[in-house]
Amino acid sequence: MRVRPVRIDQVIPSIVERDAVSHHALEAQRVLHSMGFVSEIYARNMGPGLHGRVHLLADLPRERPEHQWVCYQASIGSPAAEVFASHPGLKLLDYHNISPADLVERWLPHLGEEIRLGRKQLAELAPMVELAFADSEFNRVELEEAGYRETAVAPLMVDTTNFSSPPDKRLLDRLAEARARGGHDWLFVGQMLPHKAHQDVIKALACARELFDPEARLHLVGRESCPAYADALHRFVSALELSGAVDFAGSVSSGELSAYYASADVLVCCSDHEGFCAPLLEAMHHRLPVVAYGVTAVPETVLDAGIVLPAKSPVLVATAVQRVLTDAKLRDELVRAGLGRTQVFSIEAARRGFAESIERVLRAS
Amino acid sequence: MNSEVVAEIEAQVRELRATGRVAVGFEDELDACFEQVAEASLASAGSPAVGDLGSSSPAGLSLTELGRRLSALARRRLGPSLRHLERRTALGAARAGESAWIQVHVAVDRLERVAAGSRVATRAISAVRPRDLAGSGTAAAHPAIAGLFLDWVLERLSEGSEPGRDLPRRVLHAECGDGRIVEMLSARGLDAYGADPRWSVRTRGDGKIVAAGALEYLSAAQSEMFDAVLLTSVVDRLRPGAARALAQLAARSLAPGGVVVLVSARPEAAVAMDPVAADLAPGRPLHPVTWCHLLAHSGLAELAVFEPDASDPDARESEVFAVSARRVSPSLTTAIGARL
């Protein structure tokens, strides 16, 4: 058994409200407090709403190794990794995946460099880290490949507060009006970043309108984080004459998000890379069937609670969506299985998983 | 259950294709269409600023139209991290904030290049130009760099020099603006050269300052030509994806033992938005650790970062940092040459 430290602090490059990794770090702090540890979060950058709750990285204490452990939330290349590496405390690493540079570099060249740096830092930290935990098995395997000796899966502590927000009434009415004119509503939720491959959902919609559902609509919810990519998507929709059928909703409030989930018929995800993909769970919570391209961590998040496709040709995705929309029995089975998945990934279960990871390190000799 | 359903769906797709319900080439056309618009969007995001104003001459535009076009240019070129500053500049309400003086400079400089040749536009821009930047021509001329940073830079330059040689002989400052730093380096006994592409910079008769961009100048320069390369405002003005090329070209131009020193704005000082969004903002400066990574990848060693105390509210220079790296390996030129 190890000597129990007094404090376990977290180091994170950036922390902000309404961000999955940031929320995970805040939940991890709650778990550590509940386990009796002193625990603070130290960030290089923080959103204005977190001042006072999160400390500047420069203020990270450097106490004796048996007194203080540090846990690094890794998701991108950052100077924060160097601060973590130089800290004398026992080290833990919580890995949320780093998107491959080749998926984003064409659109965000500066981010491509920092992604490469992130991968390099991940490998350099491996020999220093006592236990590295990942929020999916896919991510855990990447940790092993990067040279980490002790690894575990501790699910993402997903922000469920948005799940039960009452739907925005005005938006709900507007969406209902459109539905009254016929056609189904597709939904995709995620930041407008190139690795999310929004264009492939749009292609599938174009195909579905040709083959099955001429009035089908697509709602793209998520911040337009990459202007050039967002511009290309807008141009693409115009070129395909789908301007009336594709709704670029942008960043929305929790009430508006609930309205989108409540009004949609299916969540369609064609992402090329996901370390976990929280919107899949959100859709399941809202009893929305999922059709997803089965790469990276998507198959293990969805499991049997959605149609997981081995490819994403527009015809294949459109046909899968059509099947889900027209096969009531299948739809019911998917919704039921989805509710089961939300229990597996409940915040309580995820908190237990994180606490067990900490206990595992404490038990180790 | 899932695999059975997927197999049925795949069979249906095969049937759709076989019966001709899916026209041959339909999906390829969708792919080609997206590639076409993607290229157009990327070209628009990375195209030269002057081209972004359209085909008509800025001189023929009304002030309102010029302002509208400059704002549109700002949106596309500078991205969300700088948008608020650029908008203020374009609309005539700019007053340089302490936290973003380098970015304001960059914005103004870009607008100047766009508006070159238009008296109306030049007047409009003069009216909004931050007073403390007027005439400087470069962020490098700011007292922060001229004072604290220059000392640090000279210290780096002198380290590792041959015995009996206090400072390196030949130094390049790219991009040097009005050449103030070149003059200061010359006054300290260095054989200093400058290059800058801005419209106001003219090649000097003695060839010490050349009207050329950093990438352009370094691409054309002989290998191992300089004992030191100083990169200041250029690193905040790079076109997307050019940081790696700049690091490699700077490394190639160094003589053995030579150093590259760059000074940049901190990304977090340059943005006025939440940090996660800021990380994604196109056009933002890179982190010091990213520059270290790029310089190391270019074959340089002995990396050092200088970050003034950010907690000191009076330390204006805390908005910027400096990184230095040295060419240690004599075989660097070959290795870098092969990669370029």
Residue A68, strand partner residues = A7
Q: What is the CA radius of gyration of chain A?
A: 21
A231 neighbors B45 (Cβ within 8 angstroms): yes
pLDDT at A78 over 60: yes
Task: Using a CB–CB cutoff of 8 Å, tell me whether A123 touches chain B.
Answer: no
If pLDDT is split at 50, 70 and 90, which confidence band does B149 have? low
Give chain A positions within 8 Å (CB) of B26.
207, 210
**Homologous superfamily (CATH) for A7-160+346-363:** Glycogen Phosphorylase B; (3.40.50.2000)
Q: Which residue has the higher pLDDT, B203 or A349?
A: A349
In a mutational test of the A interface, the residue from B9, B239, B321 whose CB has the highest number of chain A CBs within 10 Å is B9
Question: Looking at the structure, do residues B211 and B266 belong to the same domain, yes or no?
Answer: yes
pTM of the complete model: 0.71
Cα–Cα separations (whole angstroms), residue A253 to A171, A190, A238, A239, A259: 11, 14, 26, 30, 10
* Interacting residues of B170 by C-beta distance below 8 A, sequence separation 6+: B190, B191, B192, B193, B225, B226, B227, B228
If pLDDT is split at 50, 70 and 90, which confidence band does B332 have? very low
Q: How far is CA A104 from the centre of its chain?
A: 16
Q: Is B93 exposed, middle or buried (0-12, 13-18, 19+ CB in 10 A)?
A: exposed
Question: Looking at the structure, do residues B193 and B300 belong to the same domain, yes or no?
Answer: yes
pLDDT at B122 over 80: no
Put the strands of the sheet holding A246-250 in their side by side order.
Answer: A246-250, A217-221, A185-189, A266-269, A290-293, A307-309
Structure tokens at B188: 């300290």
Share of chain A above pLDDT 90, in %: 71
Per-residue pLDDT tens for A125-148?
999 999 999 988 999 999 999 999
Smallest CA-to-CA distance from A276 within A157, A152, A120 is with: A157
What pLDDT does residue B57 have? 36
**Which domain does B24 fall in, by range?**
2-46
Smallest CA-to-CA distance from A23 within A189, A135, A176, A173 is with: A135
Task: Using a CB–CB cutoff of 8 Å, tell me whether A224 touches chain B.
Answer: no
Q: CA geometry: angle at B246 spanning B243 and B248, to 5°?
A: 110
If pLDDT is split at 50, 70 and 90, which confidence band does A166 have? very high
pLDDT at B252 over 50: yes
Put the strands of the sheet holding A55-56 in their side by side order.
Answer: A55-56, A41-46, A7-15, A68-74, A90-95, A129-134, A151-153
For CATH 3.40.50.2000, the residue range(s) in chain A are: 7-160+346-363, 169-344
Question: Looking at the structure, do residues B90 and B165 belong to the same domain, yes or no?
Answer: no
| B40/A47 CB distance under 8 A | no
Mean pLDDT, chain A, whole residue set: 92
Per-residue pLDDT tens for B161-218?
555 555 557 889 887 877 878 888 888 888 889 888 765 666 677 778 888 888 888 9
A357 neighbors A133 (Cβ within 8 angstroms): yes
Task: Using a CB–CB cutoff of 8 Å, tell me whether A235 touches chain B.
Answer: yes
Closest partner CB to A304 (pick from B2, B22, B278): B2
Task: Using a CB–CB cutoff of 8 Å, tell me whether A127 touches chain B.
Answer: no
In a mutational test of the B interface, the residue from A59, A83, A113 whose CB has the highest number of chain B CBs within 10 Å is A113
CATH of the domain at B270: 3.40.50.150
Nearest CA in chain B to A115: B290
Mean pLDDT throughout B148-165?
62
What pLDDT does residue B214 have? 86
pLDDT at A331 over 90: yes
Closest partner CB to B34 (pick from A77, A228, A236): A236
Three-class DSSP category at B132: helix
Question: Looking at the structure, do residues B172 and B293 belong to the same domain, yes or no?
Answer: yes
B266 neighbors B231 (Cβ within 8 angstroms): no
If pLDDT is split at 50, 70 and 90, which confidence band does B3 have? confident
What pLDDT does residue B331 have? 54
What pLDDT does residue B164 have? 56
Give chain A positions within 8 Å (CB) of B244.
113
| B287/A78 CB distance under 8 A | yes
Mean pLDDT throughout A9-28?
89
What pLDDT does residue B52 have? 31
Residue B261, strand partner residues = B230, B324
Per-residue pLDDT tens for A281-292?
999 999 999 999
Give me the amino acid identity at B35.
Answer: E
If pLDDT is split at 50, 70 and 90, which confidence band does B329 have? low
End residue of a domain, out of B133, B161, B189: B133
* The most confident of A2-6, B9-13, B196-200, B217-221, by mean pLDDT: B9-13
End residue of a domain, out of B71, B104, B133: B133
A248 neighbors A215 (Cβ within 8 angstroms): no
Nearest CA in chain B to A120: B293
Give chain A positions within 8 Å (CB) of B5.
307, 323, 330
Pick the CATH number of A169-344 from 1.10.3720.10, 3.30.9.10, 3.40.50.2000, 3.10.180.10: 3.40.50.2000
What pLDDT does residue B258 have? 86
**In Å, how far is A294's CA from the nearest CA of chain B?**
11
What pLDDT does residue A174 have? 95
Nearest CA in chain A to B1: A304
What pLDDT does residue B243 have? 85
Q: How far is CA B33 from the centre of its chain?
A: 31
What pLDDT does residue A111 have? 80
Task: Using a CB–CB cutoff of 8 Å, tell me whether A82 touches chain B.
Answer: yes
| A323/B12 CB distance under 8 A | yes
What pLDDT does residue B283 have? 59
Give chain A positions within 8 Å (CB) of B27.
203, 207, 313-315
Structure tokens at A133: 């935990």
Question: Looking at the structure, do residues B181 and B274 belong to the same domain, yes or no?
Answer: yes
- Residue B32: CB atoms within 10 A of its CB come to 10
**In Å, how far is B126's CA from the nearest CA of chain A?**
29
End residue of a domain, out of B89, B112, B133: B133
Question: Looking at the structure, do residues B100 and B149 belong to the same domain, yes or no?
Answer: no
| A320/B9 CB distance under 8 A | yes
**Tally of domains within chain B:** 3
What pLDDT does residue B208 have? 84
Q: Which residue has the higher pLDDT, B329 or B255?
A: B255
**In Å, how far is A355's CA from the nearest CA of chain B?**
27
Find residues 87-106 of chain A whose CB sits inside 8 Å of chain B: 105-106
Smallest CA-to-CA distance from A331 within A282, A264, A279 is with: A264
pLDDT at B124 over 90: no
Q: Which residue has the higher pLDDT, A191 or B334?
A: A191
Question: Looking at the structure, do residues B39 and B59 belong to the same domain, yes or no?
Answer: no
